[in-house]
């Protein structure tokens, strides 16, 4: 892949150089230094979800592609390709037990040999596993039966142990807990039980670890979800302590929710822990980020850039992707996603914050809005391409990936003899 990148970058060097020079001259006239911006974009990193490296599906069907990873070891190979091509995806977020490694140490060594590390791990108390003593049909941390809650806590502590062996330092806890009919579940007691269980997990959190609570308005519960909105998530994170914070999945908001305001609130409260980036038109569609509403994605990054600029945030929260690739090749969709996130991030850096503040203070609605639109309507393509090139990545990752024939090669390899994961290195 490395040679393919160098060859393709060389072929594009002249055109890319001209495009970058034109953008650089434009930005200079706006008082911005393109090299400073490129370095800021180079610092942008996002974690790839292990569960999105294979084809996703819905209850109506799944149409798997060929040459897809057969297990978590092959998923690391594909994640490494995404990082190699973009220079911006050095970590994978694992979901347990979906991607439970037989031997965490072997997986960690395999991944590090590929230049991949591990971001937040994800627990799963929304599905029953074979041989599981108690069902999560009526919830996990909110369940009325203490034995079910105990089982869910044990699972979550196990996920943290696996994460420790992978040298992760955070866990994301999303609970499907909720009800489908009024009266089915006590709306306050269920929440109190969730808090009690989270407090037991928080008390066992290893040194330096963080815990992210993830809210979602509905699905699979269709009347009330225990951790339904950012307010519920905030109440939990606040009650747990300084190492607990809220994770914002962009798809977990009712239509027309001003998600950038949710982000601003959590930043202001010092409880914004991380993101699951994706896009959606209706529900939790898990479409590729920036595919439906790129302006909304930009406005989220604008809140982050504003808070990093005024010091309210001293470092970016945890950036992770959470998508389901039902139709697109998973690697291609993730390459597209990383590019969209780099672009939204780059555009947020182009906002003239002094001018914006002046127009806001003067209630000059039109000029305040225009400052954001000027940044959003700037084609930052050459800037993010250059950031990737300086990361030894590809100016055009998708073109290099397609030209590399990687998927075809994997189709042969992964169709061949039964796969034998690498023995302990
Ligand atoms: C729930 C969710 C959660 C993950 C799952 C894969 O909808 O966003 O973050 O556990 O997707
Ligand atoms: Mn999510």
pLDDT at 279: 98
Which residue in 260, 141, 297, 258 sits closest to 211, CA to CA?
141
Cα–Cα distance between 332 and 248 in angstroms, integer? 24
pLDDT at 424: 45
**Which residues have their alpha-adjacent CB atom under 5 A from ion ligand 2?**
249, 276, 322
In this prediction, residues 163-170 reach a mean pLDDT of 98
How far, in Å, from the CA of 33 to the mean position of ligand 1? 39
In this prediction, residues 215-228 reach a mean pLDDT of 98
In this prediction, residues 22-43 reach a mean pLDDT of 98
How far, in Å, from the CA of 174 to the mean position of ligand 1? 6
Cα–Cα distance between 356 and 78 in angstroms, integer? 42
Identify the residues whose C-beta falls under 6 Å from ligand 1. 51, 122, 174, 214, 216, 249, 276, 284, 322
Say what the pTM is. 0.97
Contact 274, 306 (CB under 8 A): no
User: Parallel, antiparallel, or unpaired for β 244-249 and 210-214?
Assistant: parallel
Looking at the predicted structure, is the pLDDT value of residue 417 above 70? no
Which residue in 407, 335, 400 sits closest to 74, CA to CA?
407
- Backbone CA torsion sign across 413, 414, 417, 423: positive
Residue 95 Cα: closest atom of ligand 1: 10
Shortest-distance Cα residue to atom 11 of ligand 1: 322
Looking at the predicted structure, is the pLDDT value of residue 318 above 70? yes
Task: Name the H helices within 87-221.
Answer: 104-113, 146-165, 187-203
pLDDT at 276: 98
Q: What value does the mean pLDDT of the chain take? A: 96
The single residue listed with the structure tokens 């062996």 is: 165
pLDDT tens for 76-128 read 999 999 999 999 999 999 999 999 999 999 999 999 999 999 999 999 999 99
Q: Phi and psi of 374, rounded to 5°?
A: -65, -40
Which residue in 273, 144, 299 sits closest to 214, CA to CA?
273
Residues forming beta bridges with residue 93, ordered by sequence position: 49
Separation of CA 27 from chain center: 29
How far, in Å, from the CA of 121 to the mean position of ligand 2? 12
Looking at the predicted structure, is the pLDDT value of residue 247 above 60? yes
Looking at the predicted structure, is the pLDDT value of residue 425 above 90? no
Residue 122 Cα: closest atom of ligand 1: 10
Looking at the predicted structure, is the pLDDT value of residue 161 above 90? yes
How far, in Å, from the CA of 21 to the mean position of ligand 1? 42
Percent of the chain with pLDDT over 70: 98
């Amino acid at each position: 892949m490395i040679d393919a990148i160098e060859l393709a970058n060389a072929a594009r060097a002249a055109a890319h150089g001209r495009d970058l020079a034109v953008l650089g001259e434009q930005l200079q006239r706006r008082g911005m230094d393109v090299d400073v911006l490129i370095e800021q974009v180079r610092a942008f990193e996002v974690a790839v979800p292990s569960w999105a490296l294979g084809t996703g599906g819905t209850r109506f069907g799944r149409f798997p592609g060929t040459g897809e990873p057969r297990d978590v070891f092959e998923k690391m190979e594909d994640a490494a390709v995404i990082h190699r091509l973009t220079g911006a995806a050095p970590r994978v977020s694992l979901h347990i037990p979906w991607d439970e490694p037989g031997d965490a140490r072997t997986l960690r060594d395999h991944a590090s040999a590929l230049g991949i590390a591990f971001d937040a791990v994800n627990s799963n108390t929304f599905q029953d596993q074979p041989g599981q003593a108690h069902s999560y049909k009526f919830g996990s941390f909110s369940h009325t039966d203490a034995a079910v809650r105990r089982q869910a806590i044990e699972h979550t502590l196990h996920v943290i142990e696996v994460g420790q062996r992978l040298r992760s330092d955070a866990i994301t806890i999303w609970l499907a807990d909720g009800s489908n009919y009024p009266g089915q579940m006590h709306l306050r007691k269920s929440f109190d039980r969730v808090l009690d269980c989270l407090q037991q997990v928080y008390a066992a959190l290893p040194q330096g670890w963080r815990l992210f609570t993830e809210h979602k308005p509905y699905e699979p519960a269709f009347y009330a979800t225990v951790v339904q909105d950012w307010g519920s998530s905030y109440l939990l994170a606040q009650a747990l302590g300084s190492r607990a914070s809220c994770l914002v999945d962009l798809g977990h908001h009712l239509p027309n929710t001003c998600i950038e305001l949710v982000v601003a609130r959590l930043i202001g409260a010092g409880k914004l822990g991380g993101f699951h980036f994706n896009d959606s038109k209706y529900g939790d569609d898990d479409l590729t980020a920036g595919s439906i509403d790129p302006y909304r994605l930009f406005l989220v990054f604008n809140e982050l850039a504003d808070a990093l600029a005024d010091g309210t945030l001293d470092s970016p929260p945890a950036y992770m992707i959470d998508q389901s690739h039902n139709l697109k090749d998973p690697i291609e969709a993730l390459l597209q996603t990383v590019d969209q996130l780099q672009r939204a991030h780059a555009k947020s850096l182009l906002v003239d914050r002094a001018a914006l503040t002046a127009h806001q203070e003067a209630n000059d609605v039109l000029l305040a809005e225009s400052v954001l639109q000027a940044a959003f309507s700037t084609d930052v393509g050459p800037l993010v391409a250059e950031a990737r090139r300086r990361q030894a990545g590809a100016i055009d990752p998708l073109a290099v990936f397609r030209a590399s024939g990687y998927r075809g090669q994997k189709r042969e390899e992964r169709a061949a003899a039964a796969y034998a994961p690498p023995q302990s290195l």
